Amino acid sequence: MPFSPRHLNDGETLVLDLHPHWWFFGPESISLVVSMLGTIYLRSKVSGWWETAVTYVGLAAIIVSMSWLIVALIKWRTTYFVVTSHRLIYRQGVVARNGVEIPLERVNNVNFAQTIFERLLQVGDLLVESGGQEGQQVFSDIARPEEVQNIIHSTIQRDKQQRFEGAPSLAGIAHELERLEGLRDRGVLTQEEFEEQKRRLID
């Protein structure tokens, strides 16, 4: 299920929408396979009362492992790591939800970390350092973290360029202030209206 566009702000576009890497539920899958194979193997080695006991214990282990896997799949399905044109977004959960949002303009650095095993699986952790209360955030089980790092860096550069190009020049602000002063002096604007327009222009 993709990240819902209704969570985006006006003028914001979706750049990257990821669920965790499949290794997110790797331990649960391994547990289920081991429970099934272990039960089959042990039943072939015993008979009588022991075979019945192994069957019940094995079925219990399989049910527990399968429940564990289903919970992990639901958690995987409802976990998002999203890069938009303005923000990094991490959300998790169905009923009880938690999330992190970091404006791109506050991101200071993006690193990734992988063990040798994780490199083979193309999965790793993403470390995002930002200003403000966010500090350093670690996002685990990110697929192809190096590629994601590059995408974030390029998106940050585009965001900076757009904000720079969209910022009014000092000359333009000065010209607009002169125009507003003229309107005030001619009585078109009251002093209160002039101050309000001036505040909006400077802010």
Alpha-carbon distance of 110 to 107, in angstroms, equals 8
**Residue 187: domain span:** 170-202
SS3 118: helix
Predicted TM-score (pTM) of the model is 0.68
The reply to whether 112 and 161 lie within a common domain is: yes
CATH number at residue 129: 2.30.29.30
The reply to whether 124 and 178 lie within a common domain is: no
The reply to whether 118 and 184 lie within a common domain is: no
Higher pLDDT, 162 or 39: 39
List, for residues 152-182, the tens digit of each pLDDT value: 999 988 887 777 665 555 666 776 777 778 7
Residue 60, in any domain of the structure: no
Centre a 10 Å sphere on the Cβ of residue 160 and count the other Cβ atoms it contains. Answer: 12
Residue 181, in any domain of the structure: yes
Residue 72, in any domain of the structure: no
Residue 15, in any domain of the structure: yes
The reply to whether 145 and 95 lie within a common domain is: yes
**Residue 200: Cβ-neighbour burial (10 angstroms; 0-12, 13-18, 19+):** exposed
- Cβ(148)–Cβ(16) below 8 Å: yes
32: confidence class by pLDDT, cuts 50, 70, 90: very high
The reply to whether 118 and 157 lie within a common domain is: yes
List, for residues 98-149, the tens digit of each pLDDT value: 888 888 888 888 999 999 999 999 999 999 998 766 678 899 999 999 999 9
Tell me how many domains the chain contains. Answer: 2
Centre a 10 Å sphere on the Cβ of residue 143 and count the other Cβ atoms it contains. Answer: 18
The reply to whether 15 and 113 lie within a common domain is: yes
Residue 42, in any domain of the structure: no
Please state, for a pLDDT cut of 70, what percent of the chain lies above it: 88
In angstroms, the Cα distances linking 94 to 22, 30, 79, 138 are 19, 25, 9, 21
The reply to whether 86 and 151 lie within a common domain is: yes
**Residue 54: Cβ-neighbour burial (10 angstroms; 0-12, 13-18, 19+):** buried
Residue 112, in any domain of the structure: yes
Q: Which two tokens stand for residue 124?
A: 């790793």
